């Protein structure tokens, strides 16, 4: 009996260790995030439907891109390239796709900004007004003419590349306040800075969005900047990654932002086999900071990239 008791204790300890290790592995597992909405319509050879993107089982976060005009007296404008025309109400058909993505556990965010369009704030009040607009039209509000119909998105993403860095903490803070006051589901916020640190638009310099500890996810764009993308070598990328993860206030999950093909960016492309090879950049950064996974820009340019790397992410 004494031996059996000892065996049971040993077995119990082993099982406890395995459970803990399993939990660690699950919690540290990365995911792939991507953007959808800027590559034509749903015909063959273009971006494809949002539902198909989600049904690929490759992605955990999808950004609807972009709310490309806002602030400075403008009526906010949703631009989904050739997919639909918000002004005529045809984008509302995507509400069912969004709901289908969410039913799979995928977070769907509205991305603000982008490389084209005009946006920015001249006052905190203007930023708070946009927060109310986003709530009314894309989150828990009740506007019957919402561009995406009855969709209730999971939050916002900031891909701010121009227009100045001011008042984005006011936007994010007010949006969280509205969601909490209305008992909304968990509201997520993300930002997509370029890899030179700190980002000119998003920080985390004092007063910027990333300085305000509002971000849940940070998609650092490791492309179009030779000093910190793949053209700087693995060591250069790892050094930049370390700088970012050591200096963002709060504990957001940080993602390695990459182009899905050479055509998706002006430079910095890493082919999928090089990305996941032993000792390479992905293997190294997974051990540093609050690793969240990989963000891919323009998955339509190489539909195989995500499936090639997902097992390693």
Find the length of the chain: 313
**Set 7, 126, 161, 283: catalytic member:** 161
Decide: 192 and 157 in contact? Cβ < 8 Å: yes
Q: How far apart are CA 198 and CA 264, in angstroms?
A: 23
Q: How far apart are CA 20 and CA 26, in angstroms?
A: 10
294-309 burial string, b = 16+ CB within 10 Å, else e? Answer: bbbbbbbbbbebbeeb
Distance, first Cα to last Cα, the chain: 47
Decide: 106 and 61 in contact? Cβ < 8 Å: yes
Q: How many CB atoms lie within 10 A of CB 16?
A: 10
Long-range Cβ contact pairs of 266-272 (< 8 A, separation 24 or more): 266/223, 266/224, 267/223, 267/224, 267/226, 267/229, 267/231, 268/222, 268/223, 268/224, 268/225, 268/226, 268/229, 268/230, 268/231, 269/223, 269/230, 270/230, 272/304, 272/305, 272/308, 272/309
259-277 burial string, b = 16+ CB within 10 Å, else e? Answer: bbbeebbeebbbebeebbe
**Catalytic residue check, 47:** no
Q: How far apart are CA 273 and CA 91, in angstroms?
A: 37
In whole angstroms, how large is the CA radius of gyration of the chain? 21
Cα–Cα nearest to 56, from 99, 101, 112, 95:
101
Q: Which residues are catalytic?
A: 161
């Amino acid at each position: 009996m004494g031996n059996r008791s000892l065996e049971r204790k040993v077995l119990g300890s082993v099982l406890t260790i395995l459970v803990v290790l399993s939990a660690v592995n699950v919690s540290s597992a990365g995911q792939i995030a991507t953007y959808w909405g800027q590559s034509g319509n749903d015909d063959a050879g273009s971006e494809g439907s949002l539902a198909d993107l989600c049904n690929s089982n490759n992605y955990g976060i999808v950004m609807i891109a972009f709310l490309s005009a806002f602030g400075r007296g403008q009526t906010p404008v949703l631009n989904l390239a050739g997919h639909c025309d918000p002004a005529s109400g045809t984008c509302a058909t995507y509400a069912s796709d969004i709901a289908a993505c969410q039913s799979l556990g995928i977070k769907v965010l509205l991305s603000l900004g982008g490389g084209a369009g005009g946006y920015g704030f001249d006052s905190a009040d203007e930023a708070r007004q946009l927060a109310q607009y986003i709530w009314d039209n894309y989150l828990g509000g009740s506007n019957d003419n919402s561009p995406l119909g009855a969709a209730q998105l999971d939050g916002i993403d900031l891909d701010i590349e121009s227009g100045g860095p001011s008042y984005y903490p006011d936007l994010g803070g007010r949006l969280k306040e509205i969601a909490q006051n209305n008992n909304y589901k968990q509201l997520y916020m993300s930002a997509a800075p370029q890899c030179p640190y700190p980002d000119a638009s998003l920080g985390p310099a004092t007063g910027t969005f990333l300085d305000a500890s509002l971000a849940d996810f940070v998609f650092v764009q490791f492309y179009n900047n030779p000093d910190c993308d793949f053209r700087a070598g693995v060591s250069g990328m790892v050094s930049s990654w370390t700088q970012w993860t050591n200096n963002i206030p709060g504990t957001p999950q940080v993602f390695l932002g990459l182009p899905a093909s050479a055509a998706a960016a002006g430079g910095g492309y890493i082919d999928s086999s090089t990305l996941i090879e032993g000792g390479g950049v992905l293997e190294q950064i997974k051990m540093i900071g609050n690793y969240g996974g990989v963000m891919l820009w323009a998955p339509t340019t190489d539909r195989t990239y995500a499936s090639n790397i997902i097992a390693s992410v």
